[in-house]
């Protein structure tokens, strides 16, 4: 059994100068491929269920699926709720077997964000579950604009919320299909000077792979959330399988052909964040 909490995998990453991929799951096919990739790379993995995933598949099913993959893997795997927006979201995930929850209070005032996150942290820690919080708002490529993390607010949030990891906004943006995001290194270093928590970057797909590697090895960023580029890899593989024979209709046969490409894509992500050989 290698079910792990977020703290279990991020504290060694912080000390060892590497990062762990928080790979966004939309269904069984990609979750299984991510677990296979992590085993092939002999690296820990964070399986993430975000709002769109939860809208498609109920949390009790996701919790069992993630834990099944973790319990049958040779590497540590975290069952993580991504972007929980209420205490109820986080409580339900804990009850469903998730080992880590992310409460997103980034749209709230700092005071409200700290208070709500601290309450969820107390609840989660009592159950042996890790918590990720967010301070500063990470925007969307075709939507809301980001609000960069204020270093002093990050210090207060880290100290008063009790979280195990802190997501920050330093130029990263959700849902970018092309790499090219510029990270605000001055803001990052100012945050690092005021807290020793493992840091998290959402919107990792927009960050060039070389930059991810550099940050993983030279900063407190220990978790990169990667979703869009993996969804694109899945879509390309499925489109290729369908186009090869338009008369095919069996979903199992079609989806089987996405497995190897998804394993390869996930291995590339994981390898770029891993510790030096």
Give percent above pLDDT 90 in the chain: 86
The CATH number of whichever domain residue 15 belongs to comes to 3.20.20.70
Confidence (pTM): 0.95
**Residues labelled as active-site residues:** 82
pLDDT digits 0-9 by tens, 109-147: 999 999 999 999 999 999 999 999 999 988 787 777 777
Instruction: Give the per-residue pLDDT at 137.
Output: 83
pLDDT digits 0-9 by tens, 51-77: 999 999 999 999 999 999 999 999 999
Domain count, the chain: 1
Please, which pLDDT band fits residue 277 given cuts at 50, 70 and 90? low
Contact 83, 102 (CB under 8 A): yes
Longest dimension (CA), the chain: 60
pLDDT digits 0-9 by tens, 201-260: 998 888 999 999 999 999 999 999 999 999 999 999 999 999 998 888 899 999 999 999
State which residues form the domain around 137: 3-273
């Amino acid at each position: 059994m290698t079910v792990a909490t977020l703290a279990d995998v991020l504290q060694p990453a912080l000390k060892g100068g590497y990062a762990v991929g928080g790979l966004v799951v939309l269904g069984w096919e990609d979750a299984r491929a991510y677990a296979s990739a992590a085993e092939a790379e002999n690296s820990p993995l964070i399986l993430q269920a975000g709002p769109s995933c939860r809208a498609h598949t109920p949390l009790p099913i996701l919790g069992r699926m993630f834990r099944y993959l973790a319990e049958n893997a040779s590497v540590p795997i975290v069952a993580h709720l991504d972007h929980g927006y209420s205490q109820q979201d986080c409580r339900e995930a804990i009850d469903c077997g998730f080992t880590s929850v992310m409460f997103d209070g980034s749209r709230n005032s700092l005071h409200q964000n700290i208070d709500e996150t601290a309450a969820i942290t107390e609840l989660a820690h009592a159950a042996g579950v890790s918590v990720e919080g967010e301070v500063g708002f990470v925007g969307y490529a075709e939507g809301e604009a980001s609000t960069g993390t204020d270093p002093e607010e990050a210090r207060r949030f880290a100290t008063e919320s009790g979280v195990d990891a802190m997501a920050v906004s330093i130029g990263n943006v959700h849902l970018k299909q092309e790499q090219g995001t510029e990270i605000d290194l001055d803001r990052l270093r100012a945050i690092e000077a005021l807290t020793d928590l493992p840091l998290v970057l959402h919107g990792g797909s927009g960050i060039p792979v070389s930059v991810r590697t550099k940050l993983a090895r030279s900063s407190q960023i220990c978790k990169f959330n990667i979703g869009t580029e993996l969804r694109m890899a899945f879509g390309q593989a499925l489109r290729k399988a369908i186009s090869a024979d338009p008369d095919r209709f069996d979903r199992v046969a079609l989806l089987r052909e996405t497995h190897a490409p998804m394993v390869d894509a996930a291995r590339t992500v994981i390898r770029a964040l891993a510790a030096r050989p």
